[in-house]
Amino acid sequence: MNVYNKTIVVTGAGSGMGRELVFALLTKGARIAAVDMREATLEQTMQLAGQKAERISAHVVDITDKAAVEALPKDVIAKHGTVDGIINNAGIIQPFVRVNDLDYEAINRVMNVNFYGALYMVKAFLPLLLKRPEAHIVNISSMGGFLPVPGQSVYGASKAAIKLLTEGLYAELANTNVRVSVVFPGATNTNITANSGVKGPELPSSSSQKKGISMLPAREAASIIIHGMEKNKPRIFVGKDSKLMNILYRLSPAFATNLIAKQMKSLLPK
């Protein structure tokens, strides 16, 4: 779907890759409903957009609040008159510990933001998208959604759930006007750790740079995602590491799993 003159809803738009997705869409002539639970960061996104901010509406919404998400489409329509696509970008990681040491509060928080938040968005906007001449749903999963990462097992499970939800939507909507894409970012330079309220290394951690793994700039990742969206790609791999590990995991799941486990071993508590 060509995003020019389309209205796209972006969650997690106040910072990181969400903010860069907003800027990438603006560059291509789209209108954006920017969604984030933090009003201050949304205001920063608007300020940084400069004159293009006139094509952005800001919506302070906690996507884990089902009632608030269900009210969001009406607000977006009031601002823009229509809605043509959603990008479910908002997400958090878990504390960098093994499942045995992860408390249920952290588990529920990760699942509520990463899975249920995206599901609420899909359920709220899909009826409107089905009425458009063309529309698009983009769900951000993760390389950790198809490849197990020790210390982020529940995060990975939430992103694997997004993967299968999106692939299911792709199948269900195949004969409609709504296109569907799932995105698998690899190591991307964002502020997800700080936004998650988690102490410890980024996922993948900054120490990965010392191991020869470069972090993809968030701006470049956003550009890849929007390009894939406009090409109607059902699966969008972001970063060389994501592409490579997808191939390795398909060829030899055990080898790929052990490779990641070896790289992440030093990041886990003894």
Indicate which residues carry an active-site annotation. 155
Name the β-bridge partners of 188: 216
- The count of other CB atoms within 10 Å of the CB of residue 226 is 23
Longest dimension (CA), the chain: 55
Buried b (16+ CB within 10 A) or exposed e, 85-109: bbbbbbbbbbbbbeeeebeeebbeb
φ, ψ for residue 33, nearest 5 deg: -100, 105
Name the β-bridge partners of 31: 7
Angle of CA points 33, 36, 37, to nearest 5°: 145
Find, among 262, 264, 231, 270, the residue nearest to 93 by Cα: 264
CA atoms of 145 and 120, how far apart (whole Å): 19
